[in-house]
Chains A and B, each alone.
Chain A
Amino acid sequence: MTNREKYKQAFSVLHTSGRISLEEERMVIMKKKARFQATAAAVAVCLAFAGGGSIAYAADIGGVQRTIQLWVHGDQTDANIVYNANGSYDLWLEGDDGTRKELHGGGVAIEDDGTERPLTEEEIMDHLNQPEVDYREDGSVWVYYYDQKTDITDRFKDGVCYVKVSNGEKTLYMTILYEGGWCSSPHKYESPDSFR
C-alpha cells in the first residue's frame, strides 16, 4: 500500500455521530449560539493579553432567574438570565419575530496556578457585552458593540479588518479575519497571525 492508501484507511474510521442537525429552526438557533461562542473566544483572548489567566466555557443548567438589559444587534433588549453556581448561564429573550430564543453558555476561569473557579456574574455579563461580528445574508459584514452598528464590508484588506469600537468608557481594538474569527484587545490591534 502507498502512504496515501494507508492514510486513507487509517482516517476512514472517523464519522460524525449523527447528532448534527440541519433542521432550519435548529440552524437559526445554533447560529445565534455560535455568535455567543465566538464572543466567548474573544474574552479568553483579552484576558490572556491582560495577564489575568485564561477562561474555559461549558454549557450546563440550574440557578436563580433575573431580568437584565442586553445589547443585541445594537438594540437594547430585555432578557431573562439564570446564573448557575457552576459558572454557566441560561438566557431567554424575545426575537425579532416575537418568538422566544434561548441561549446557553458560561464556564470556568483558570487561575494562574491552574485551579478552576466558576465564572462570576460580572464576568458572564462582560462576555455577553462583548462586540459581535455578524455576516448578513446579503453578504455584508457588521460589527455591533452596545448601541454601535458599523458596516465593515468594504474595510477588509487581504481578508483582515481592523476596527476600533468604544462604548464611551471602554475602547476595544478588534482584528477580524473574514469568516475566520476575530480577537480584541483593550491595548492594541493584535496580529492576525496570533490567532489565525
Chain B
Amino acid sequence: MRLPTQELFEKYQNNLYAVAFNVCRNAEDAEDVVQDTFIQYYSIRKQFDNEQHIRAWLIRVTINKAKNMNRTFWRKNKMSLEDYMETLLFETPESGELFEAVMNLPEKYRIVIHLFYYEDYSVREIAGILKLSEGNIKVRLSRARSLLKDKLQEEWEYDE
C-alpha cells in the first residue's frame, strides 16, 4: 500500500523534523532532511504493509539522511544550537533544560532516547529501525537515562 505524500507530510512533518533535528542539531539541515525524505518517498514506488510500516520507513530514512548531512559538513549560515534554543518557546524552564540535556548527549544515545520517549517505539522496534540488536538498544537507552539523571537530578526519574 501507499499513502499520498501530502497526507503523510501533514501528519508526520513535525515528527520527522524532530528526529532530524535530534541528529543534526541544526534547524536548516533538519528541514532539508525532511524535504529530502519526502522526495525519497515521492520518488520511489516501494510498497508498504501498512501506515506504521511507512512511518518506520520515513523515520529510518530521516535518520540516515540526517547522519549523511552531518558527514557532508554541508555549510549554510547555520544558527548555533544555543541561539536556536532561544527562539523556542518552552512551556517551562525545566522543559528547556531537558531539551538541552538531550541535545548534549552523544548522537547514538540521542536518537535512541528520542525514538523511545517521543515516538513511543519499543526497544524491539527501535532495533528494527536502526538495524541494531535489542541488547545494543537497551545499553544505549540505559546509558542515556543515566546521563540525563546525572544532569537533571530530580527532574528526571529512574525508569525502565
Contact = CB atoms under 8 A, between A and B. Distances in A.
A-B complex is real: yes
Interface of A: 2-4, 6-11, 13-17, 19-22, 27, 30-31, 34, 37-38, 40-41, 44-45, 54-59, 107-108, 110, 135, 137-139, 159, 177, 179-181, 195-196
Given A9-B95, A34-B39, A57-B75, A181 B13 contact: no
Given A16-B17, A58-B75, A59-B76, A30 B95 contact: no
Interface SS of B by simple majority:
helix
Contacts of A11: 18, 99, 102, 114, 118
Contact of A31 (B13, B39, B75, B120): B39
Nearest to A19: B31
A181 B75 contact: no
A6 B44 contact: no
Interface of B: 5-6, 9, 13-14, 17-18, 21, 27, 31, 34-36, 38-40, 42-46, 60-61, 64-65, 67-68, 71-76, 88-92, 94-96, 98-99, 102, 113-114, 117-118, 120, 131, 155-157, 159
A38 B92 CA distance: 39
Nearest to B78: A58
